[in-house]
Amino acid sequence: MSAIIALRGVSKHYRRGNEDLAVLSDFDLDIEARDFVAIMGPSGSGKTTLLNLIGGLDSPSSGQIVVVGKRLDELSGSALAHWRARHVGFIFQFYNLMPALTAERNVELPLLLTSLSTADRRRRVAAALELVGLADRARHKPGELSGGQQQRVAIARAVIADPTLLVCDEPTGDLDRHTAEEILGLLQALNRDQGKTIIMVTHDPKAASYASHQLHVDKGRLVRMDAAGA
């Protein structure tokens, strides 16, 4: 496997009462480094489950998952947590910021898991907020920011520890068209300028058009993978 993300025969089942629910079945996938992939599909198709497995938030029922050189299906919960902190940045639909913390404290959170000094943490937080254009909102709490600004803070939090991979679950699903385009432009810039590999789940074909590849999932199976504009 030379790809940065490689799935082989991955299945994921959930038990609901006596029923065994197959969400992903025998899934194979390769994604190269520096790629920007949009995962699309109808509700319940398994795209969020796929994203969670790639991001190390969930474990497969069977199969192999290798991401950034690690067999995730073999890691313990604690080792997975450590791996996520080093290699993955997460961006959610509803931003998922800590409402009691200021923007800069939210962005700083992943750095608390490192051995960086307070001064170094502050420097990196300032740079990350500068990158997303929110240097002047550092002391604002999420409730004092617009949706687009909150998502920018979430992006700053996702990139602060310089991860290899960005995992985005409907990052523009809660934003108006204009703001959504700004956020997607920002993600595209991170992919293009900083070489971040981005996996993004979206329902929106317009959002998906920002990606270099579109991956279509239905009923837990990979239907097809298109290059952008295809």
Partner 1 sequence: MSVLKYLPLLRANLWRRRIRTLLTFASVATAFLLFGLLMALRHAITGGIELTGADRLMTMHKMSFIMSLPRSYVQRIAAVEGVRSVTAASWFGGYYRDERATIVAQVADADTLFAVYPEIDLPAAQHAAWLADGSGMIVGQALANANKWKLGEVIPLHSNIFRKQDGSNVWDLRIDGIYRNTAGGDTNALFFHYQYFNETRSFGRDRVGWLILRVKDPAQSPAVARRVDALFANSDAETKTSSERAFAQSFINQVGNIGAIIAIVVGAVFFTMLLVTANTMGQSIRERTAELAVMKTLGFRGGQILALVLCESLLLTLLGAAIGMLLARGMAAGARQALQQYLPLLGVPPGAMLAALAIATVLGLLAGALPAWNAWRLRITDALRQGG
Minimum CB distance to partner 1 smaller for 36 or for 95? 95
Nearest to 201 by CA among 55, 70, 59, 81: 55
Q: Smallest distance from the beta carbon of 33 to partner 1, in angstroms?
A: 21
Q: Which of residues 120-179 bind partner 1 (CB under 8 A)?
A: 157
Q: What is the DSSP letter of 44?
A: T
Helix (H) or strand (E) holding 47: helix 47-54
Out of 70, 82, 219, 221, the residue judged to bind partner 1 by CB under 8 A: 82
Minimum CB distance to partner 1 smaller for 174 or for 181? 174
Binding to partner 1 by residue 61, rule CB under 8 A? no
Minimum CB distance to partner 1 smaller for 17 or for 99? 99
CB atoms within 10 A of CB 100: 10
- Residue written as tokens 């993978």? 225
Minimum CB distance to partner 1 smaller for 43 or for 118? 118
Identify any residues that bridge with 37 across adjacent strands, giving them in sequence order. 199, 213
Binding to partner 1 by residue 86, rule CB under 8 A? yes
SS3 state of residue 49: helix
Out of 1, 21, 113, 189, the residue judged to bind partner 1 by CB under 8 A: 113
How many chain residues bind partner 1 (CB under 8 A)?
Answer: 26
Q: CA triplet 89, 91, 94: central angle to 5 degrees?
A: 155
d(CA 180, CA 166): 17
Binding site for partner 1 (CB under 8 A): 52, 55, 57-58, 77-78, 81-82, 84-86, 90, 92, 94, 96, 98-101, 105, 109-110, 112-113, 118, 157
